[in-house]
Amino acid sequence: MVTFTGLDWFWAAAFLLLMVGGAFLFYRLARRSESDFFLAGRGLPWWLPASSVFSTHTATDTPMWVTGVIYAHGLRGLWYTFFTAWTAIGSFVSARIFRRSLAYTQAEWQVMRFGGLGAELLRGWMAGWQVFMNMFILGWVGIAMGKVGYLVFGWPVWVGLVIPSAITAIYTLAAGYWGVVMGDFLQGIVAIFAIVLVTVVGLWAVGGPGEVSARLVDMGEAWRLDVFAFTGLFSGDFPAAWWLTMLVIAVIGGFGMGTSIDWYVEAQRIQSAKTVRDASYGLWAGGALTLVRNGFWAAVILAFFVLAPNITNVAEYELGWFRMGFELLPVGMVGVFMGAILAIHLSTISSHLNLGALYFTRDLYQRYLNPKASERTLVWMGRAATFVLLLGSFFYGLMMEEITAWLIFALWLMMAGIWLPNILQVVWWRFNAWGYLASWMANLGVSWLVVWIFPAFGVIPPLPDYGQFWLLMALGAAVFLPATLLTQPEKMDHLVHYYVQTRPLGWWGPVQREAERRGLIAPQTKPEQVGRRPLIRRTWTPEEAEGWSREDWMAIILSPVVYALIIIGVARLLLGQLDGALITLGAIGGAFLLYWVIDPKLRAVSVEYETKQARYLEELERSVRWDESALDAGAEG
């Protein structure tokens, strides 16, 4: 247990009041409409979604998990946390496409991308899954806070589960997504302050950055400073094959939608941005800040390892970051640290309360139960759904110690079995609703076979994680590819409408040609018609910027490289390594180059799209009320 002085209580209470009060102030904006309650009116500048991406990804259980992988693996454990890098390509591909769709949720996007009964079934399926998953994630994160409350104050676990979540629900109920995103901004500042503070104090407790590295060398643990300390190509507890698989899942996943469990949360942030450009930068900056955070955590956790190297109990060393904060900070600052823990907890809880309520309100209640509902009714339904999610999270949180194992199983399998279809739905025109639905259904059975049943009966040996991933992908493809090719493509009218609105990347040739034939988009200029162009073009007309060009591909390649340099550079810099400083400088230079290459194009795309957005929004609202003539009108121009 930690001793709290009056000053500590003051700081913890002051931070709580600031974060809750600051968020609550926006309740007047939230009650205006469904769009305000769930998307802050689609008018946010890039830095607000960015801070929300960071804050939401920094939950109470996150420092436990990051501590676990860094304590066990050293700096190579950073690659586990690199899953955030889906935002590297995602910011410039899937975010751009999804923002242009204007869909409130990933479920709603299904009926824009696909058509007919298959698309509708997908929407319902995904909405049900997301309502439930958000409730579970709330319980999962809530019980982590319960454990922190027990560690710090000796409170019963249910106190930490119920009280902070109930406080969060007050401003989430009142101020909706406005409260979530403004609270996230304040909470992000508090969290960053505490993360930097604990890293500085932790490193100096060992004797400074260079001393942590020197002590690791003395202990015969120098490999912990190596981010590429593989144990073999396929053998050991960190084979290169696993590293490569994680890299592919994260980086290539950025071409798709839903390839990471975080996609569903970030989709809401993408839609709340005021332009396509703001959506891209919001997602990119939020991801980058998350990787910087991981670098700071990695450095201080290695300091913790130096101080306490022989802990074998995972549950014990996972609390290393919390221990560093509570045991090393002076009187008064312990209260600030507790305020920061509350900050990271509140931001995640509020996001998932609002997101779960969004799926219920938009995709189940409004779509299927009351399509003619007024804006006022929808806001109140959003509040009611938020409250039900809160109660559900208490119920599941109390079960969670038993349930955690299956939740991790569920998250992993959802990522493995439908990873490829999540990309194909974005980049391949011929992929259809029945193929995508088949991939979800196939995964239901195949995942059990590969992970539990076949190994149990000796049909196949127990596979490492990377083996499971590739096998699940292959078996899934054996189902969803025939399902796609044996059923009809989506109707061309529907595809043309979607294509003209979102201008997706990938294999869309037949749809593009049909859109050109109908005069809905300008014919693509052939290279020989353009003549010489600069290596990097920085002047675009809005029409020219609509297509995908060399500049987009440069961003697609450069962005993951910058992300990798950030996470490696920051961690090694904080450990006093010279190459860390050089790598960090390379990351900063790369980020500026990325901006220089892609910004003119993003500006032009945003200008062009904003001239059409009001019409597309009107169509979207007619569509959710089953007035499908909206789509027909769009396809005909």
Partner 1 sequence: MDRGLVTLIGMSIAYVASFAGLAFAYWGWKKHLRPDREEETP
How far, rounded to the nearest angstrom, does the alpha carbon of residue 450 sit from its chain's CA centroid?
Answer: 27
The nearer residue to partner 1, 112 or 604, going by C-beta atoms, is 112
Min CB(131)–partner 1 separation in Å? 7
Is 405 near partner 1 (CB under 8 A)? yes
How far, rounded to the nearest angstrom, does the alpha carbon of residue 268 sit from its chain's CA centroid?
Answer: 10
26-34, 55-63, 119-127, 210-218 -> range binding partner 1 (CB under 8 A): 119-127
Min CB(368)–partner 1 separation in Å? 4
Q: Which of 402, 458, 509, 531: binder of partner 1 (CB under 8 A)?
A: 402
Cα distances (Å, whole numbers) of residue 416 to 81, 258, 464, 604: 17, 11, 13, 36
Q: Which of 120, 211, 221, 621: binder of partner 1 (CB under 8 A)?
A: 120
- Please list the residues that pair with 280 across neighbouring strands: none
Cα distances (Å, whole numbers) of residue 167 to 23, 138, 162, 252: 12, 14, 9, 39
Helix and strand element counts for the chain (H, E): 29, 0
Is 136 near partner 1 (CB under 8 A)? yes
Which residues, other chains included, contact 301 with Cβ-Cβ below 8 Å and sequence gap of 6+?
66, 67, 70, 71, 320, 321
Min CB(435)–partner 1 separation in Å? 10
Distance (Å, whole) CA 204 – CA 320: 16
How far, rounded to the nearest angstrom, does the alpha carbon of residue 383 sit from its chain's CA centroid?
Answer: 24
Q: Can you point out the beta strands (E) in 268-329?
A: none
Of 563, 548, 613, 554, give the one whose Cα is nearest residue 279.
613
The nearer residue to partner 1, 88 or 127, going by C-beta atoms, is 127
117-125, 458-466, 513-521, 529-537 -> range binding partner 1 (CB under 8 A): 117-125
Q: Which of 488, 531, 532, 611: binder of partner 1 (CB under 8 A)?
A: 488
Min CB(404)–partner 1 separation in Å? 9
The nearer residue to partner 1, 26 or 365, going by C-beta atoms, is 365
The nearer residue to partner 1, 141 or 564, going by C-beta atoms, is 141
Min CB(531)–partner 1 separation in Å? 45
Binding mask 345-364 for partner 1 (x = CB under 8 A): ------------------xx
Rounded CA Rg of the chain:
24
Min CB(527)–partner 1 separation in Å? 39
Angle at 138 between CA 264 and CA 106, to 5 degrees: 15
The sign one gets for the Cα dihedral 284, 286, 287, 293 is positive
Residues 414-453 that bind partner 1 (CB under 8 A): 434, 444, 452
Distance (Å, whole) CA 142 – CA 140: 5
The nearer residue to partner 1, 407 or 593, going by C-beta atoms, is 407
Cβ atoms 228, 564 nearer than 8 A:
no
Q: Which of 4, 65, 125, 158: binder of partner 1 (CB under 8 A)?
A: 125
Binding mask 614-633 for partner 1 (x = CB under 8 A): ------------x-x-----
Min CB(444)–partner 1 separation in Å? 6
30-38, 189-197, 466-474, 483-491 -> range binding partner 1 (CB under 8 A): 483-491
The nearer residue to partner 1, 129 or 387, going by C-beta atoms, is 129
Residues 31-90 that bind partner 1 (CB under 8 A): none
Q: How far apart are the first and last CA of the chain?
A: 67
Min CB(626)–partner 1 separation in Å? 4
Min CB(551)–partner 1 separation in Å? 38
Tokens of 249: 């899942």
Is 458 near partner 1 (CB under 8 A)? no
Token pair 């998250």 is at which residue? 411
Is 403 near partner 1 (CB under 8 A)? yes
Tokens of 558: 């450069």
The nearer residue to partner 1, 181 or 414, going by C-beta atoms, is 414
Q: Which of 127, 303, 334, 373: binder of partner 1 (CB under 8 A)?
A: 127
Q: Which of 63, 118, 146, 356: binder of partner 1 (CB under 8 A)?
A: 118
* Total residues in contact with partner 1, by rule CB under 8 A: 38
The nearer residue to partner 1, 44 or 483, going by C-beta atoms, is 483
Q: Which of 407, 492, 582, 588: binder of partner 1 (CB under 8 A)?
A: 407
Binding mask 357-396 for partner 1 (x = CB under 8 A): ------xx--xxx---------------------------
Q: Name residue 55's amino acid.
A: S
Q: Which of 33, 231, 377, 487: binder of partner 1 (CB under 8 A)?
A: 487
Min CB(101)–partner 1 separation in Å? 19
Q: Is 298 exposed, middle or buried (0-12, 13-18, 19+ CB in 10 A)?
A: buried
Tokens of 554: 């440069």
114-122, 423-431, 542-550, 569-577 -> range binding partner 1 (CB under 8 A): 114-122
Distance (Å, whole) CA 590 – CA 558: 7
305-313, 330-338, 486-494, 532-540 -> range binding partner 1 (CB under 8 A): 486-494
Q: Which of 4, 409, 470, 548: binder of partner 1 (CB under 8 A)?
A: 409
Distance (Å, whole) CA 419 – CA 390: 30
Angle at 156 between CA 153 and CA 162, to 5 degrees: 100
Q: Can you point out the beta strands (E) in 370-510?
A: none
Min CB(622)–partner 1 separation in Å? 13
DSSP state of 234: S
Distance (Å, whole) CA 517 – CA 507: 18
Which residues, other chains included, contact 276 with Cβ-Cβ below 8 Å and sequence gap of 6+?
96, 99, 100, 602, 605, 606, 609
Cα distances (Å, whole numbers) of residue 373 to 34, 625, 636: 10, 9, 29
Min CB(607)–partner 1 separation in Å? 36
The nearer residue to partner 1, 126 or 328, going by C-beta atoms, is 126
Indicate the helix (H) or strand (E) that contains 246. helix 240-251
Tokens of 424: 């194909």
- The phi and psi torsions of 507 (rounded to 5 degrees) equal -90, 85
Of 297, 258, 288, give the one whose Cα is nearest residue 85.
288
171-179, 231-239, 242-250, 487-495 -> range binding partner 1 (CB under 8 A): 487-495
Is 454 near partner 1 (CB under 8 A)? no
Min CB(108)–partner 1 separation in Å? 12
- Please list the residues that pair with 273 across neighbouring strands: 44
Which residues of this protein are in contact with partner 1, per CB under 8 A? Answer: 115-118, 120-129, 131-133, 136, 363-364, 367-369, 402-403, 405-407, 409-410, 434, 444, 452, 487-488, 491, 626, 628
